[in-house]
Structure 1
Amino acid sequence: MCRLALKTASEAFSPYEVLQGMEAMQEGYDGSGLGLLLRGLDFDDYTYNTKNPVLSGIAHTEEAWDRLRNYMDSHGFELKYDHDFDTAPGHLKAHNRYRYFLRVYKLPQSISEKSEEEIEHDLMMTRLALRKDGELHGDDLTVFSFWPDVATIKEVGWPLEIGDGLRLFDNRIKSRVCMAQGRQNTNYGINLYACHPFFIQGIATMTNGENTAFVPIRDWLLGKHFPGYTGYQSDSETFTHILHYTLKQLKLPLQAYKHIITPLRGDELANHPQGDFLRGLRDSCRRLIIDGPNAVIGTLPDETCMLVMDQKKLRPATVGGRPGAWAIASEMCGVDAMVPDRDPSLDFQPMREHTILVPPERKELTIWSQHDPYPLGQAA
């Protein structure tokens, strides 16, 4: 089992707060990987234009660092800000790290004048090209995300050790949403690309559990020949790509995600007001049905946060909070650490049919059931 923690708040906060929530659940992971994804960025030494994409990753050698800078320069990306982590290496297990980077770029005119869909495609392809470059040079360059208002940090080690090593407690970088996963290495070797959260075109998810239907789901996604459906160093990356497929390609609303990964039974669909449509959706996406146990937490570009469970419900998760600040965690103690000033009697643990949403305004939770009708229009 891994451990998951997410905090979302109207006022930007330090990612160190979420690392403290991870510390409260430390018996659930083994230090083989920590992933952080931040949305709604706030830098203390830079006024950030949220239209500019942020490139996140690690250059393991000076040569990789030079190739990265040359690639971005040669493709017309103008560097606007380069975050200095001011690392304290004694706290970090990894030694072959030349430079951690969060670099804000202005888009070249050749890209900025394109449609939104084309810009999203170009950002994705830039990330994939840099990742491929690192792989061709002995994995000396690791790139996690390249997207507006998103920063991703991943490293091997224990959460607070990594937070101390990267000085994440100094409030120089804050965000309104922070996702964190502490990895329990069960299926694969230690690989930074296997650390959650996973990210594609503004969509991020992280998972506690195992996707035993991984191979047929992966093969189905690969068969779509979409460039971003690649990697798969972890079986959980398929959850991110299924959510992307739901929203971006099928153009269905977020509620459809639950109907795809864990469809209702035939007798339940027979009594559902949209049963005919959902039966067709189930049949056409049958290969995307997951086999748990899983708890999946996701976030979207508008800062919506989501929690869903699979049918087996053997990977717990709890959500709690107050207007303006909410937390989702694998254990109640994680929620306690992140939002202590709440009414814990209002905490909620979803059942297998629920999708829990924290909307961008963060006033209250939305608890939606698969048995309820949902809008069939265009995805947001």
Structure 2
Amino acid sequence: MCRLFAVTSEEPQSPIMAIRALDVMREGHDGSGVGLFLSDLGGPFEELKGAPILSGIFTNEGMKRLDQFMINIGFMTKYKMSIKVPKTSPPPGVPKRDRYLIRAYEYPESWEGLSQEEIDYRLMMIRIQLRQMGDENQDMIVYSFWPDVIMIKELGDPMTVAEYLQLDREELQARVIMAQGRQNTNYAINLYACHPFFIQGISTMTNGENTAFIPIREFLSSRGFPGYMGYQSDSEVFTHILHYTMNRLGLGIEAYKHIITPLQDKDLEQHPNGGLLKELKHSCRRLIIDGPNCVIGVLPDKSVFMVQDRKKLRPGVVGGRPGLYAFSSEICGLDASIPDRDKSKDFQPMHLDTAIVRPDRQEVKICNQMDSLPLPH
């Protein structure tokens, strides 16, 4: 099993907060890797909300190829943050890298006047192209290219990696943070298999096993959307299913569980949106997951959520106070991050629940699958 932790806060937090929560849950991960997703950024990136930020790991030769590629397509560097690797050998289990890159860019002048949908598509395609370039020469690992998003992933124990890369720096503070401590179930470790996963402003991470991975991957890959690719992990499809739910079906987070864990037919007969949900269950039946899985994710509007599948065999809890909430695999992770909360209000989502903290961060909202769906007009 992996261990998951996410925090949403009115005040920017250090990723070390999330790493410490993983550390107290260390019996649930083997130290084979750590993944971080940061958004609603503080520090110097707060002034660059609209600028796309590139996150990844590069060799020196890969940096030269990146610079030439970005210049050729009209992107100029607006701000960069260097994570300088100590000259000494890295800690055991952590590979030696040339450069961890976090760089914000100016849009090309030729992009002026483009629709937001077109901009979003082009940013995704640039990330895919850079990833493919890196795969060819093994000189680039590209996690994200998106405004107000930083992603860092590395092999090794989470706390060891955080200390080695000095992740407690002010430039990396954020109001929304997701962190995963890996339990390696993929044999050969590939950093693209490390959670969280990301596509066009949507990110998720999972603790569990998705044995329905193959039909889900085949369905998504057949949609003709270039972003549905990769799949070094069976959990990446959770991110893409959510993207499909919101961007292709035009539905909100409240409908996500109706796609991945639809209600039984007898319950649909009594549901206020039963007709629509029957159609969704039929047309999206190949997106139904098989668990156990606990999924934590972030939406483009910075809402944070947690869902469980029907088996409800992976732990998960949400708690906090107005202005500061956390989502954790275990209560001890919650205790480490928000010890002064009202613990009687902690909530452990069951198989019908979606727990959501909206961007105002004032409460945990619980959506039940038996409730009426808010539908787009």
Short-chain TM bin? over 0.9
- The verdict on how the C-alpha distance between 1:253 and 1:95 changes in structure 2, with shifts beyond 3 A counting, is closer
C-alpha separation between the residues in 2 aligned to 1:161 and 1:368?
38
**Alpha-carbon distance between aligned partners in 1 of 2:111 and 2:24, rounded to the nearest angstrom:** 44
Structure 1 residue 204 corresponds to structure 2 residue 235: no
Q: Are residues 1:63 and 2:61 paired?
A: yes
SS at match of 1:17: helix
Q: What secondary structure is seen at the aligned counterpart in 2 of 1:168?
A: coil
Identify the residue that residue 140 of structure 2 maps to in structure 1.
141
**Match among 75, 78, 87 for residue 76 of structure 2:** 78
Per-residue deviation, residues 159-204 of structure 1 (Å, max 9, x unmatched) = 1111111111232320000000111111342000000000000000
**Aligned length, in residue pairs:** 375
| One-letter amino acid matched to 1:117 | E
What SS does the corresponding residue of 2:83 show, helix, strand or coil? coil
The 4+ residue runs of structure 1 with deviation greater than 6 A are none
Aligned equivalents of 2:111, 2:98: Cα separation in 1: 30
Aligned to 1:184: 183
Partner of 2:28: 28
The answer to whether the Cα contact below 8 Å between 1:188 and 1:233 also exists between their aligned partners in 2 is no
Q: For the residues of structure 2 that align with 1:208 and 1:43, how far apart are their CA atoms?
A: 31
The answer (yes or no) to whether the contact 2:2–2:208 under 8 Å persists in 1 is yes
Q: Give the 5 Å matches for 1:145-224.
A: 145-224=144-223
CA deviation digits over 1:191-250, x for unaligned, max 9? 000000000000000000000000000011111121000000000000000000000011
AA partner of residue 301 (structure 2): D
Q: Secondary structure at the match of 1:169?
A: coil
Offset at residue 276 of structure 1 (A)? 1.0
Could you state the TM-score of these two structures normalised by the residue count of structure 1?
Answer: 0.96
Task: Measure, in 2, the Cα distance between the counterparts of 1:134 and 1:285.
Answer: 33
The structure-2 alpha-carbon separation of the partners of 1:118 and 1:188, relative to structure 1 and needing over 3 Å to count, comes to: farther
2:321, 2:341 within 8 Å by CA — same for their partners in 1? yes
**1:254: Cα distance to partner?**
1.3
1:90 & 1:155 partners in 2: Cα distance? 12
Residue 354 of structure 2 corresponds to which residue in structure 1? 355
Report SS of the residue matched to 2:363.
coil
Structure 2 residue identity aligned to 1:78:
M
Percent of aligned pairs with the same amino acid: 53
Q: How far apart in 2 are the matches of 1:283 and 1:362? A: 35
Residue aligning to 1:87? 85
Kindly indicate whether the alpha-carbon contact (under 8 Å) linking 1:188 and 1:234 is maintained by their aligned counterparts in 2.
Answer: no
The amino acid that maps onto 1:125 is M
Is the 1:92–1:165 contact (alpha carbons within 8 Å) kept by the matching residues of 2? Answer: no
Mapped to 2, the partners of 1:315 and 1:109 lie a distance apart of 48
Q: Where does residue 4 of structure 1 map in the other structure?
A: 4
TM-score (norm 2): 0.97
Q: Which amino acid aligns with 2:259?
A: I
Q: Per-residue displacement from partner, 1:125-144 (whole Å, max 9, x unpaired)?
A: 0000000001111x221000
SS of residue in 1 equivalent to 2:111: helix
Equivalent-residue separation in structure 1 for 2:339 and 2:197 (angstroms) = 28
**278-287 vs 24-33, greater mean Cα deviation:** 24-33
Deviation at 1:87, TM superposition (A): 3.2
Measured after TM superposition, the shift of residue 47 of structure 1 is 5.7
SS in 2 for 1:238: helix
Aligned to 2:344: 345
Tell me, what secondary structure is at the counterpart of 1:84? strand
SS of equivalent to 1:83:
strand
Taking the aligned partners of 2:27 and 2:284, their CA distance within structure 1 comes to 36
Offset of residue 288 of structure 1: 0.2
**AA aligned opposite 2:372:** P
One-letter code of the match for 1:264? Answer: L
Deviation at 1:62, TM superposition (A): 1.2
2: CA distance between counterparts of 1:219 and 1:170? 41
Whole-Å separation in 1 of the counterparts to 2:264 and 2:164? 49
How many Å separate the matches in 2 of 1:227 and 1:344? 44
In structure 2, do the counterparts of structure 1 residues 38 and 101 end up closer, same or farther at CA, with 3 Å as the change threshold?
same
Q: 5+ residue gaps in structure 2?
A: none
**Other structure's SS at 1:65 match:** helix
354-363 or 369-378: which moved more? 369-378
Query: Which residue identity lines up with residue 76 of structure 1 in the other structure?
Result: G
Q: What CA distance in whole angstroms lies between the structure 2 residues aligned with 1:47 and 1:209?
A: 34
Give the aligned residue type for 1:3: R
Mapped to 2, the partners of 1:28 and 1:72 lie a distance apart of 40
Cα distance between partner residues in 2 of 1:140 and 1:106 = 24
Q: Is the 8 A contact 2:293 2:314 kept in 1?
A: yes
Q: Which stretches in structure 1 are left out of the alignment for 5+ residues?
A: none
Contact 2:85–2:97 (8 Å) recurs in 1: no
Q: Deviation at 1:92? A: 6.6
The residue that corresponds to 2:107 in the other structure is 107
Checking the alignment, whether the CA contact within 8 Å between 1:91 and 1:164 is kept in structure 2 is no
**Most deviating of 96-105 and 353-362:** 96-105
- Give the aligned partner of residue 225 of structure 1: 224
Kept after mapping to 1: 8 A contact 2:85/2:98: no
Instruction: Please report how far the alpha carbon of residue 376 of structure 1 lies from its aligned counterpart in structure 2 after TM superposition.
Output: 1.5
C-alpha deviation, 1:86, in angstroms: 3.3
Deviation at 1:84, TM superposition (A): 1.6
Contact 2:84–2:100, Cα closer than 8 Å, also in 1:
no
In structure 1, how many angstroms separate the alpha carbons of the residues matched to 2:83 and 2:203?
23
